[in-house]
Amino acid sequence: MDNAIAWWAGAGRMSDRAIACSSPLKIASRWLGATPSGVSAGEGPTLRASRAARACLAALAVAGMLVTGSASAKSSGERGEPAPAVKVVNDALTYSNFAGECSQTAFVVNATGNLAVVGGPVSGPGSTTLDGLPYDTYELDLKTGPATFVTKFDRVFPAPLPSATYEMVFTTRVMLGGVQQGVSITTIRCTNGVVSARNRAIPSTPMLVPVGGPLMWLALSLLLAASALTLVPVRRR
């Protein structure tokens, strides 16, 4: 009789340890301590402990996955022919190897583009400013990445600019499936007929928490744990 009492006490402690395997699942301890549907009360706490441990593992696995991305005459860095050299970058879209010429009536700058986004189609809605003021907009078809390609930036002004020194900035948003992957900013500067250019890429900040917030996902993990408790097959002796 004493041995039987000791066995039941030890099994009860095992059940308590299984229920306490994760602090979020302590909320469901009432469910885990009850006799599951379809199981007779005579099957004892050992079966309950085994089911509770399995439910804990299932809920922890789910939580880990949940915790665990105008006119045809002007160019603005469109996708061109493949380039022989491939530059490894972590930014969505960059430009380099600038070379060109400029005047008060127009400028043209050749460049090498590097698209680091994997997949496609990739689009690039963008806009320009001229000496800090909005100038025009454009839409790039960047096709599928990753890729390295030749391209150019150019504009022909409808009238000569009042100064031989000016600056045009191209700001391109890199989009894949409606999600922004980054921003590419290219600055073209003309100084008395001498052109210079630079590019700066701004990566997008990945969203680690899904929409709905952590409380919703905690509730979902508890629901899945409760479902696992009733769906795990029982081995009858």
Write out pLDDT tens, residues 195-227: 999 999 998 875 444 445 566 666 666 767 666
Residue 196 and residue 110 share a domain: yes
pTM (two decimals): 0.53
CATH number of 164's domain: 2.60.40
Residue 124 within a domain: yes
Return the closest-CA partner of residue 137 out of 124, 121, 122: 124
- Percent of the chain, pLDDT > 70? 50
The number of folded domains in the chain is 2
Classify the C-alpha dihedral 109-111-117-119 as positive or negative.
Answer: positive
Flag whether 236 is in a domain. Answer: no
State the DSSP string of 18-87. Answer: HHTTSGGGGGGHHHHHSPPTTS-GGGHHHHHHHHHHHHHHHHHHHHHHHH----TT-EES---SBPS---
What's at 18, amino acid-wise? A
Q: Where are the beta strands (DSSP E) in 192-226?
A: 194-203
Same domain, 109 and 15: no
Domain membership flag for residue 156 = yes
Domain range enclosing 30:
2-67+211-231
Give tens-digit pLDDT for 167-201: 999 999 999 999 999 999 999 999 999 999 999 99
> 224 and 199 in one domain?
no
Q: Are residues 45 and 99 in the same domain?
A: no
User: What is the pLDDT tens value at each position of the chain, 237 positions in all?
Assistant: 454 444 444 444 444 443 444 444 444 444 444 444 444 445 555 555 566 556 555 555 544 554 444 444 577 777 676 654 443 346 899 999 999 999 999 999 999 999 999 999 999 999 999 999 999 999 999 999 999 999 999 999 999 999 999 999 999 999 999 999 999 999 999 999 999 999 999 988 754 444 455 666 666 667 676 666 655 555 555
Asked if residue 36 and residue 151 are part of one domain, the reply reads: no
Q: Are residues 35 and 12 part of one domain? A: yes
Q: Are residues 194 and 226 in the same domain?
A: no
| Same structural domain, 85 and 175 | yes
Residues in contact with 181: Cβ distance below 8 Å, sequence separation at least 6, in sequence order: 69, 92, 117, 122, 174, 175, 203, 204
Concatenating the DSSP letter of every residue in 50-67 gives: HHHHHHHHHHHHHHHHHH
